Chain A
Amino acid sequence: MTEHDLPGADDRATRRGREHDPAAHRGPAGTAAGAPAAARLRADWPHLLRRLGKHALLITAGLVMIYPLLWMVASSFKPTALIFRDPSLIPSQLDLGNYTAGWNALAHPFTHYLMNSLVVVAGAVLGNLVSCSMAAYAFARLNFRGRKLWFAVMLMSIMLPIHVVIVPQYVLFSQLDWINTYLPLVVPKLLATDAFFIFLMVQFFRGVPRDLTEAAHIDGAGHARIFLQVMLPLSMPALATTAIFTFIWTWNDFFSQLIFLTDPNMYTVPVALRTFVDSTSDSSWGSLMAMSVVSLIPIFLIFLFGQRYLVRGIATTGLK
Chain B
Amino acid sequence: MSAIGELAALRRTKAERPKPSPAEQGDNKAALVFLAPWFAGLALITVGPITASLYLSFTDYSLLDAPEWTGLDNYIAMAGDPRLFTSLRVTFTYVFVSVPLQLAAALGLALFLDRGLRGLPIYRSVFYLPSLMGASVAVAILWRRIFGNAGLINQILALFGVEGPGWIAHPDYALGTLIVFNVWTFGSPMVIFLAGLRQIPRHLYEASAIDGAGKARQFRSVTIPLLTPIIFFNLVLQTIFAFQAFTQAFVVSGGTGGPIDSTLFYTLYLYEEGFANLHMGYASAMAWLLLVIIAALTAVNFFASKYWVFYDD
Contacts and interface: CB of A to CB of B under 8 A. Distances in A.
Contacts of B267: 163, 255
Contact of A16 (B6, B202, B275): B202
B14 to A, nearest CB: 10
Given A163-B267, A166-B287, A320-B188, A217 B23 contact: yes
Interface string B144-160: 11100010100110010
Interface string A279-299: 000000100110011011001
A274 B66 CA distance: 32
Given A157-B42, A311-B124, A55 B119 contact: yes
Given A65-B126, A292-B141, A168 B284 contact: yes
B287 A311 contact: no
Nearest to B280: A167
Contact of A190 (B31, B37, B46, B52): B37
B280 A171 contact: yes
Q: DSSP majority for the A interface?
A: helix
A150 B36 CA distance: 13
Contact of A192 (B7, B38, B144): B38
A218 B233 CA distance: 40
A314 to B, nearest CB: 5
A303 interface: yes
Nearest to B138: A292
A167 B53 contact: yes
Contacts of A84: 150, 155
Interface string B31-51: 111111110111011101110
A164 B53 contact: yes
Contact of A174 (B63, B195, B202): B63
Contact of A318 (B132, B234, B287): B234
A188 B45 contact: yes
B196 A134 contact: no
A96 interface: no
Given A1-B196, A171-B280, A188-B45, A66 B117 contact: no
A296 B133 contact: yes
B298 interface: yes
Interface residues of B, number: 116
Contact of B129 (A131, A213, A303): A303
A249 to B, nearest CB: 8
A48 interface: no
Contact of A161 (B44, B48, B192, B290): B290
Given A12-B202, A157-B42, A163 B133 contact: no
Contact of A12 (B38, B198, B233, B251): B198
B123 interface: yes
Contact of A85 (B155, B236, B287, B298): B155
Contacts of A170: 63, 274-275, 280
A62 interface: yes
A142 B138 contact: no
A49 interface: no
Interface stretch (A17-25, A26-34, A38-46, A234-242): A17-25
A69 B221 CA distance: 39
Interface stretch (B81-89, B161-169, B238-246): B238-246
A135 B298 CA distance: 26
A296 B136 contact: yes
B160 to A, nearest CB: 12
A147 B28 CA distance: 10
A20 B206 CA distance: 13
B77 interface: no
Nearest to A8: B198
A141 interface: yes
A273 interface: yes
B27 A168 contact: no
Given A135-B38, A318-B3, A9 B237 contact: no
B1 interface: yes
A270 B27 contact: no
12 contacts: A66-B130, A72-B138, A143-B24, A161-B243, A188-B41, A191-B41, A196-B3, A217-B23, A274-B250, A289-B141, A316-B2, A318-B189
Given A65-B126, A159-B294, A278-B255, 15 more contacts: A143-B27, A161-B243, A164-B287, A164-B288, A168-B56, A193-B41, A193-B45, A218-B23, A270-B137, A274-B137, A289-B142, A293-B138, A299-B133, A315-B194, A320-B188
